[in-house]
Amino acid sequence: MAPSNDSFVDMTGIEGKVRKEHICIIFPSKVSSPGLAGLYSNNIKLDAFIDYSGPRLYLQMVASFVLTQSIHTMALKHLGFPMLISQVLAGVILGPMLFHDHNSLITMSESSVEVLGTIGSLGFVFYLFLSGVKMDTSMTRKAGWKAISIGSLTVLVPFVFCLITDVILNGGHRDMIKNKNFFLAMTYSTTSFPVIHSLLNDLKILNSELGRLGLAAALVSDLLSMAILNIGKYFKTYVDKEIDDVLREIGLNVAFVLIVFYVLRPAMNWMVRRTPDGGKIKDVFVYAVIFMLMIIPMVTGMTHLFILVGPFMLGLAVPDGPPLGSALVEKLEPFVSGLLLPFFASACGMRFNVDDIINISPYAKSQSIAAVVTLFVKFFVSLALPLLCKMPTSDSLALALIMTAKGLFEIGSYSILFDVGMISADIFSTNFVIIVLLASVTPLLVNKFYDPSRKYIGYQKRSILHAKVNENLKIMGCIHVPGNVNSMINLLDSSCLTKETPITLDVLHLVKLTGRATPLLITHSKNSKTMPTKSYSENVILAFNQFERDNWGALFVNVFIAISPSNLMYEDVCNLAMKQLTSFIILPFHRRWYIDGSIESEDVSIRNLNRKMLERAPCSVGILVEGRQTTKCSNSNSIEISSSLPSLDKIAVIFLGGKDDREALALAKRMSQDQEVNITVIHLKIENDYAATLVDSEKMIDDETLRFMKQTTYVTYIEHYVNEGTETSDYLKSIVDKFQLIIVGRRYKKEDNRTLGLEQWTEFQEIGVLGDLLASSDFSANFSLLIVQQQLRIYK
């Protein structure tokens, strides 16, 4: 037997009473085992293997991971529950509540839970730090009165009701501060920014109008709660001690804030200045910030602040975005979210014991009632405020659910309060149940009440076909990389830019969100002297401003910059198109080629964006496949616009029939107003087609559209007969080198004899059979390709 040291530790609970806990420490500590071979040679039982903390930790990690994935994959994922629920349920299953046999290999005794909990707590510290890094406090200045009122009132009103409930249930208010009722009431009332961000991101509504409002309100709520908690802490110090202690505590807190924001932040700004524009920050600077994070909890304790405040404030001090903020998020996020936080959630679940709820104390019961009352009041306040602002009822319900959401931050906070003896086990367990229930049902209900794609369904037809030739055509062009700029300008330059046929162009530069939680949509003012980002946005703005000057009076350019996650960029595009009443959106294709046919670049996130836009766009859409690059240029962000750029004056439209092909003809019709542009309409027809002799409404509309194009002076009309897909492919190969731009309709999942046999070779089905054929490497000619889809979603 190893010697042990038994001692009693006094811990003050929430009721202000002292409880004694018996702690047994074994010396020397068993950390690393001699291995299975060593245990066998020394005739040590296998059960003794887990007496060592190292193997026990590995066993816990494996068991927690396997059980979490099993629960989520086999059951909860199909029901729509978030991963957090699977993680905490795995902890509950593996915890001491279910496994009392301390000689079992799978046992998770209280001492072993502490080992896993320590690793998980490190992840929680990193989680708070990254939440601060990604938080944009400038949102509080930019947030409108709606977000500020919702964020503040959904904290203050429930907080007051919770205190009133405490007074009623406990028969007095004298010990409210001393017994920490004040602080518990604030934990029930607050809305956590990290939890709301995670919820909105999981639901893929972070970029939606409701998501932006919820995120701004959560930020206001979080900062207000932090301020109220500090005021309450100072008042408690005054009640328990003297005014000198309050002043000393305030002085230490102010000193901590000054050190973080006036010593550490300037140091991090110096690191950013040492990094070239667009360059990668040095690893030594990243490690220096991580070192600051490792020592900040100790400094936080020395200054009498709650331990969770320090990492969060250090994260706020980090300059957001690239190069430092984004580098920290990219390096730490996978490790923290993928490894440490799941173990922390499971460790919190291991602390839960249903016996604590069965044998609940009167005080804990009153706190449970107060917590439920607070949540109901918070829900109704969150519902009433948007309804007063004339928000739709379904959206108001979704926002109310979002503002009452709870998650990992609350579970972690109560777990730490329980570990340090500030709350009792029954209060932890009852709040644990409330949080798990809320975290389970909130995503399901928000999905039920809020569908952001509904607003993209238009009541009006917004397409090129339904726009008058001589009216201002509203087009949106999306930019990802510098090469997209010249291709976009070439296409628009061939679209008959005159004062009689003007175009309003909304340029949307899409930038991937890194190092911050808040998506941004920035409107560039022509009078602005500063650029909003350190990327090549400035060159994009300058290039299109020059294009506008070259076509003064015929072209009106507005430049926007959207900084958002790649999987949610379609929200920015659709929202802006709705706001600007756009008729046609031009999206770059996700793949670009060199002249020799090799791939220059390919981005799966752009392809996913294009797919979602084709499904949800509120107007017509065109996907622009750029012509092959003549040289293998470097990855430079510079953009040069000159008169030597090749003009697209030889344009062909491949017509098979259908509304997408008619939209392509409508664009060609507008281009044909420019006498310098030669338009060729190639109508592929089926030889001896019996169906062509039948009366069909679609065919009648096609014939009427073609009749106008045949009568246009500067349009060449060609009919060519084919019988199958191979003949279509051979014919197109013979003519593509005569044109600089080819326009085709998407014709998604529409196949007839003219494309028969081609679909099975299609690589990118989202651009249709003909679009994929012309974009393939089989067509070696250097031409640009535009695939057009007419507006899909219209209320009848």
Q: Determine the Cα–Cα distance for residues 698 and 108; give it in Å rounded to an integer.
A: 69
Q: Comparing C-alpha atoms, which of 564, 455, 545, 457 is closest to residue 505?
A: 545
**From the CB of residue 699, how many other CB atoms can be counted at a distance below 10 Å?**
15
Pairing of β 503-512 and β 473-479: parallel
The pair of three-digit structure tokens given for residue 116, joined into one six-digit string: 């896993």
Q: How far apart are CA 685 and CA 754, in angstroms?
A: 7
Structure token digits, residue 766: 């989202």
pLDDT tier, 654 (very low <50, low <70, confident <90, very high otherwise): very high
Phi-psi sector, 117: left (phi>0), alpha (psi -120 to 50), beta: alpha
Query: Structure tokens of 21?
Result: 């806990």
Instruction: Give per-residue pLDDT as tens, 692-751.
Output: 555 567 778 888 888 888 877 678 889 988 888 888 888 998 888 888 899 999 988 777
Cβ-proximal residues to 654 (8 Å cutoff; 6+ apart), any chain: 682, 684, 732, 742, 743, 744, 770
Peptide bond into 28 cis (omega under 30): yes
Q: If we measure between CA atoms, which residue out of 254, 332, 338, 260 comes closest to residue 296?
A: 260
Cα separation, 349 vs 408, whole angstroms: 11
Answer yes or no: same fold for 460-525+536-623 and 647-687+695-795. yes
Interval 118-142: pLDDT, tens: 787 888 889 889 888 887 776 666 6
Please give the structure tokens belonging to residue 272: 């950013």
Q: List the domain boundaries for the chain.
A: 90-238+322-449, 460-525+536-623, 647-687+695-795
User: How many angstroms separate the CA atoms of 45 and 161, rounded?
Assistant: 58
| Average pLDDT score over residue span 499-504 | 87
Angle in degrees, CA 108, 110, 116, rounded to 5: 65
Which pLDDT value is given to residue 176? 55
The three state secondary structure string of 448-484 is: HHCCHHHHHCECCCCCCCCCCCCCCEEEEEEECCCHH
With H, G, I as helix, E, B as strand and everything else as coil, classify residue 624. strand
Q: Answer yes or no: are the C-beta atoms of 678 and 715 closer than 8 Å.
A: no
Per-residue pLDDT at 607? 93
Distance from CA of residue 395 to its chain's centroid?
20
Residue pair 420/19 in contact by the 8 Å Cβ criterion: no
Which has the closest alpha carbon to 165: 184, 190, 191? 184
Res. 34: pLDDT tops 70: no
Write down the mean pLDDT value for the chain.
Answer: 80
Top CATH class of 460-525+536-623 equals: alpha beta
Q: Are the beta carbons of 560 and 507 closer than 8 angstroms?
A: yes
pLDDT of amino acid 40: 56
Q: Kindly state the average pLDDT of the residues 32-53.
A: 58
**% of the chain exceeding 70 in pLDDT:** 81
| pLDDT of 451 above 60 | yes
SS3 759: helix
Distances (CA, A) of 135 to 244, 571, 703: 35, 20, 57
- pLDDT 10s digits, 524-562: 765 554 444 444 577 888 888 888 888 888 899 999 988
Helices and strands in the chain: count of H runs, count of E runs: 29, 15
Both tokens assigned to 589: 């294709």
Checking if the pLDDT of 795 tops 80, the result is: no
Residue with tokens 């203050």: 156
77: amino acid identity, one letter? K
Q: What pLDDT is stored for residue 53 in this prediction?
A: 67
510-525 pLDDT, tens per residue?
A: 988 876 667 788 887 6
Stretch (H or E) spanning 540? helix 537-550
Q: Is residue 599 within 8 Å of residue 591, measured between CB atoms? A: yes
Tokens 């240029």 -> residue: 633
Which phi and psi (to 5°) does residue 22 adopt?
-95, 125
What is the reported pLDDT for 497? 83
CATH of 647-687+695-795, one of 3.40.50.620, 1.25.40.10, 3.30.2090.10, 3.20.20.140: 3.40.50.620
Q: What is the reported pLDDT for 392?
A: 87
Beta carbons of 95 and 350 less than 8 angstroms apart: yes
User: Distance (Å, rounded) from C-alpha 547 to C-alpha 339?
Assistant: 50
Q: 61, exposed or middle or buried, with CB in 10 Å at 0-12, 13-18, 19+?
A: middle
Give residues with Cβ within 8 angstroms of 356, minimum separation 6.
425, 426, 428, 429, 430
Q: How far apart are CA 744 and CA 786, in angstroms?
A: 6
Q: φ, ψ for residue 306 (rounded to 5)?
A: -60, 140
For residues 385 and 150, the answer to whether their CB atoms sit within 8 Å is yes
pLDDT the model gives residue 249: 83
Ranges of H-type helices in 389-424: 393-403, 408-419
pLDDT at 340: 87
Q: Which two tokens stand for residue 577?
A: 């198109």
How far is the C-alpha of 39 from the C-alpha of 30, rounded, in Å?
A: 14
Describe the chain by its helix, strand, coil percentages, rounded to 5. Answer: 55, 15, 30
pLDDT tens for each residue of 393-447: 888 999 999 999 999 999 988 888 888 778 888 899 999 999 999 999 999 999 8
CA dihedral 573, 577, 583, 589 (to 10 degrees): -10
Six token digits for residue 581: 């009443």
Residue type, 618: P
DSSP 273-325: HTSPTTPPPPHHHHHHHHHHHHHHHHHHHHTT--TTHHHHHHHHHSPPSTTHH
What are the tens digits of pLDDT across the range 614-638?
988 889 999 999 876 654 444 444 5
Residue 767 DSSP class:
G
What is the rounded distance in angstroms from the CA atom of residue 299 to the CA atom of residue 308? Answer: 12
Place of tokens 């009392």: 100
Quick check: 357 and 429 in contact, CB under 8 A?
Answer: yes
Rounded distance, CA 664 to CA 169, Å?
A: 71
Question: 79: buried, middle or exposed (CB in 10 Å: 19+, 13-18, 0-12)?
Answer: exposed
pLDDT per residue as tens digits for the range 148-195: 889 899 999 999 999 888 888 876 555 555 557 888 888 899 888 889
Q: Which amino acid is at 89?
A: L
Is the pLDDT at 238 greater than 70? The verdict is yes
d(CA 239, CA 108): 41
pLDDT of 284 over the 60 cut: yes
| Digit-coded pLDDT (tens) for 310-353 | 888 898 888 877 788 888 888 888 888 888 888 888 888 888 88
Which CATH entry fits the domain spanning 90-238+322-449: 3.10.20.30, 1.20.1250.20, 1.20.1530.20, 3.40.50.620? 1.20.1530.20
| pLDDT for 9 beyond 60 | no
Determine which of 218-232, 265-279, 307-321, 685-699 has the lowest per-residue pLDDT on average.
Answer: 685-699
Q: What is the mean pLDDT of residues 42-67?
A: 70
User: What is the spatial distance between Cα 470 and Cα 473, in angstroms, rounded to a whole number?
Assistant: 8
Handedness of CA 631, 635, 636, 641 (dihedral sign): positive
What is residue 778's predicted lDDT score, i.e. its pLDDT? 78
**What is the C-alpha to C-alpha distance for residues 547 and 559, in angstroms, rounded to an integer?**
12
